[in-house]
Amino acid sequence: MPLVTSKGMLLDAQKGNYAVGAFNVENMEMVMAVVEAAQEMQSPVILQTTPSTVRYAGFNLYYANVKAVAERATVPVALHLDHGSSFELAVQALREGYTSIMIDGSQLPWEENTGLTRRVVETCRPCRVPVEAELGCVGGKEDDRSSRNSGLTSPAQAAEFVEKTGIDFLAVAIGTSHGVYKGAPRIRLDLLGEIKKYVSVPLVLHGTSGVEDEVVRSCIQEGICKVNYATDLRIAFSDGIKRILNEDSSVIDPKIYGKMGKELVKRYVQDKIWVCKSSGRGF
């Protein structure tokens, strides 16, 4: 089917007390793997690209890949700009046909984050494209940006931020971190519960790669409607390539090792769809 926006997906998830998996993709094989996994499990799905990913190949190439694969599927597929780093980048994604936009001004002062986010919302709203933003700061390394700070989201500030910006979804900082964890993260489920009391829009969890599945399920129970996965998909794809080349270093056909990378990504995505409880929701 044609690409859809993420808004209907996440509002349905909010009502049904489940989440939609949002998976970062880097190439054609990863796009195919994510959509095939969603199709087999009859789950809605969101595919995401970051600023560094689109710098690598361009919005138009990723859009064309995802559009072509989505049109062969019967489940809802959305294409999302993850961690959009500027107003200009958000507009580029919108013009190219992305059906979901994140503007990330979380490292900016409050007024600048609010103003930038509101500007993106006002630009996307006439096109009926939903906007996600982040309040607080999810630490670690995301794309080519890194932060040692992981300021947690204030429930009261979250309510004010949503009201002033008009965003459709809010990414919250509750103890997760981007990249590979060096120890078990301390996830603040109590804080998430408080944020949910103050905010009515669907909530988003970033930095989920490496978080225990049971913890993610608890976050969904407390109101998370979109769960982002990135680092572990890259690891899975790379492991597939290494497996083939370690077995036979003479292999020169990219389709051979690409197929194994695709298979491992697909298995990973299927597992996380179970965690999100979105299987069978893609009708």
**Lookup: tokens for 46:** 């969101």
Q: What is the pLDDT of residue 6?
A: 98
In Å, how far from its chain's centre is CA 227? 6
Say how far apart CA 104 and CA 83 lie, in whole Å: 5
Say how far apart CA 29 and CA 66 lie, in whole Å: 11
Q: pLDDT for 100-150, tens place per residue?
A: 999 999 889 999 999 999 999 999 999 999 999 999 765 444 455 544 445
Q: What is the pLDDT of residue 107?
A: 85
Report the candidate in 238, 109, 230 with the shortest Cα–Cα distance to residue 178: 230
Report the candidate in 235, 252, 269 with the shortest Cα–Cα distance to residue 31: 269
> What residues are labeled active site?
82
Tell me the average pLDDT across 262-269.
98
Q: What is the pLDDT of residue 179?
A: 46
Q: What is the pLDDT of residue 176?
A: 73
CA 19 to each of CA 10, 25, 67, 110, 125: distance values in angstroms, whole numbers, following the listed order: 7, 19, 22, 28, 23
Say how far apart CA 277 and CA 111 lie, in whole Å: 37
Measured N-to-C along each axis, helices 59-71 and 87-96 cross at an angle, to the nearest 10 degrees, of: 40
Q: Does 282 or 88 have the greater pLDDT score? A: 88
Least confident of 67-76, 135-144, 157-166, 187-196: 135-144
**Lookup: tokens for 76:** 């809802």
Q: Annotation-wise, does 153 bind a ligand?
A: no
Q: Annotation-wise, does 83 bind a ligand?
A: yes
CA 270 to each of CA 15, 131, 210, 273: distance values in angstroms, whole numbers, following the listed order: 22, 26, 16, 5
Say how far apart CA 8 and CA 260 lie, in whole Å: 33
Q: Annotation-wise, does 160 bind a ligand?
A: no
Q: Annotation-wise, does 139 bind a ligand?
A: no
Q: pLDDT for 183-234, tens place per residue?
A: 567 789 999 999 999 999 999 999 887 789 999 999 999 999 999 999 999 9
Domains and CATH numbers, the chain: 6-234+270-276 (3.20.20.70)
Q: What is the pLDDT of residue 144?
A: 55
Please list, residue by residue across 32-51, b when 16 or more beta carbons sit within 10 angstroms of its beta carbon and e when fewer do.
bbbbbbbbebebbbbbbbbb
Q: pLDDT for 6-41, tens place per residue?
A: 999 999 999 999 999 999 999 999 999 999 999 999
Q: Annotation-wise, does 206 bind a ligand?
A: yes
Task: Please state, rounded to an integer, the average pLDDT across all residues of the chain.
Answer: 92
**Lookup: tokens for 121:** 């919302």
Say how far apart CA 171 and CA 155 lie, in whole Å: 12
Say how far apart CA 82 and CA 24 lie, in whole Å: 8
Instruction: Judge contact between 27 and 64, C-beta under 8 A.
Output: no
How many residues are listed for the chain in this entry? Answer: 283
Record the pTM: 0.92
Say how far apart CA 207 and CA 192 lie, in whole Å: 15
